[in-house]
Amino acid sequence: MRHKPELIGIVLDEQGYTDIETLIKNACEFGKHFDHAQLLAVVANNDKQRYQISDDGTQIRAVQGHSHPSVKRYYEPQTPPNVLYHGTAFKFLDSIKQHGLIAGSRHYVHLSADSDTATKVGARHGKAVVLIIDTAKMHADGHVFYQAENGVWLTESVAVGYIEFGQFGQFGQFG
């Protein structure tokens, strides 16, 4: 639902929603069999709280992480905590040191409120590294932050000057 919904013939609206019954029917046609109750169980039990059902119960969306061009989620700008974290893999450090954090194919860079979550995110792609982001300075400099319904913090990019790299997981605080 976040990246290539057209592969199973579903269409996302600008807020990322698609019709639940169409999703179930089309997924079944493509060999992914589940029913309405199973879908609701996945939404309720997803450890990242990645999905959201519409108020009327007829639609579903991923709350963040979209890369599809039709999705233009609206999030209310928020004041972030002074520091947020970004989990990545060691193999991406050279690129990040050159270019900072960029959204790439996604709409936003994802940041975590705690280093444990960032570590889990980074470990998905290899040896985890947690970067500390000086969000107080970014916000003071005019960068906009949003928070998705599941607590993930979002921003368009993070320049190198706002990132503390430390010694591969051993970081101090900004001062």
pTM score of the predicted model: 0.67
Confidence of residue 170 (pLDDT cuts 50, 70, 90): very low
* CATH architecture assigned to 5-62: Orthogonal Bundle (1.10)
Sign of the torsion angle spanned by Cα atoms 136, 109, 107, 78: negative
Give me the numbers of helices (H) and strands (E) for the chain, helices first please: 5, 12
In this prediction, residue 147 carries a pLDDT of: 92
Letter for the amino acid at 115?
S
**Strand ranges in 42-124 using DSSP code E only, listed in sequence order:** 51-53, 59-62, 77-78, 83-89, 101-102, 109-111
Model confidence at 47, in pLDDT bands (50, 70, 90)? confident
Tokens coding 26: 């089309």
Which position has the token pair 């639609």? 59
Residue 173's pLDDT is 42
Instruction: Yes or no: say if 39 and 60 are a contact pair by the CB < 8 Å rule.
Output: yes
CATH architecture under which domain 83-165 falls: Alpha-Beta Barrel (3.20)
Is there a contact between 172 and 101 (Cβ–Cβ < 8 Å)? Answer: no
How far apart CA 126 and CA 115 sit, in angstroms, is 16
Q: Where in the chain is the domain with CATH 3.20.170.30?
A: 83-165
